[in-house]
Amino acid sequence: MGTFYLSLCCIGDPSQGILMKLFNGRSKSLFSAIATLFAGITVLILSGFNLNFSADILFHAIFFGVMMATCTFSFCKALGRGPLSFSALIVALSLIVPAFYGIILGDKPSNFFFVGLAILIVAIVLLNLDFDKAENKQKSKLDWLWVIFISLAFLGNGVACCINTDFSKTFNGEYTYEMLLIAFIVSAFLQFIPAIFTDRKTFKEDKKQLFILTPLWGLCNGATNSCVILAIAEGIMASVLFPVVSGVSMTISFVVSALVFKEKFKPLKFVGFSLGILSVI
């Protein structure tokens, strides 16, 4: 079952970035807030409405909710200002953080882990070294707002995954849905606060996209976060799970960026793409 959960993570993780990029409306804050609410609904359905709450999970749940809000809100904003390939791969790199955290907690990866990790880092660097900026009208300028948002998304995702790892090891897979449900409620609440002030006037023009894309994003996010905890509880080491998900997510995002969003890449990009696949193998 651990491998099955890992496979679902590899599908659900990149799907979230793709769905966010497909949303081209102006109500970015509202998108992330509603999508997170649907992630909570997904977790509730996956639990079969059979929940058993404990006060012991509150710390993990609230902390995870804050980090999830930081990541979701910031990543959505970043995608509104930059390419999917670059943004998704920076966030994919954040999965290295919980991989090392797993080692600190006692995971003992093989030498192949470190070789694959080195290849993964080289691949991500190559894939982002010379993104074709010809499409960017502001090619001579660095979008500092994008840098801030993607940095916050990197931090939020990396820390959130560490919390997932710690929670899974602490409770051995128990209270998974209860923790995530509380976390998503906290996260949605925090994101609705700015949305009330920034997206009131744009909701009507974006409501069709919001009603279509947010449930899909919520399904992917809720299922992915559930599978991360369950996979670790089934014995998949965090130091293996997160680099694999990172590599597959990077590869899928690269392909979709080129084929769907028509982002242009130079030959160096394809070298990085190949290394990304190799790092997973």
Can you tell me the mean pLDDT for 188-207? 90
What's the mean pLDDT in 38-58?
Answer: 94
Spatial distance between the Cα atoms of 5 and 234, rounded to a whole number of angstroms? 9
Which tens digits make up the pLDDT trace of 212-226? 999 999 999 999 999
In the three-class reduction of DSSP (H, G, I as helix; E, B as strand; rest coil), residue 15 is classed as helix
pLDDT value, residue 140:
44
Proportion of the chain above pLDDT 90, given as a percent = 43
* Collapsed DSSP state (helix, strand, coil) of residue 227: helix
**Secondary structure letter of residue 26 according to DSSP:** S
d(CA 44, CA 36): 13
Token match 């599908």: residue?
11
How high is the pLDDT of residue 133? 46
pLDDT > 90? residue 36 = yes
User: Between these two residues, 144 and 9, which has the higher pLDDT value?
Assistant: 9
DSSP 30-98: HHHHHHHHHHHHHHHHHTTT-----GGGHHHHHHHHHHHHHHHHHHHHHHTTS-HHHHHHHHHHTTHHH
- pLDDT tens digits for range 216-256: 999 999 999 999 989 988 888 887 888 788 778 877 887 88
Predicted confidence (pLDDT) per residue in 98-113, tens digit: 878 878 877 777 777 7
Burial (0-12, 13-18, 19+ Cβ within 10 Å), 174:
middle
| pLDDT one-digit tens code per residue, 127-164 | 655 554 444 444 445 678 898 999 999 999 999 989 98
pTM to 2 decimal places: 0.81
Cβ(241)–Cβ(9) under 8 Å? yes
Widest pairwise Cα distance in the chain: 55
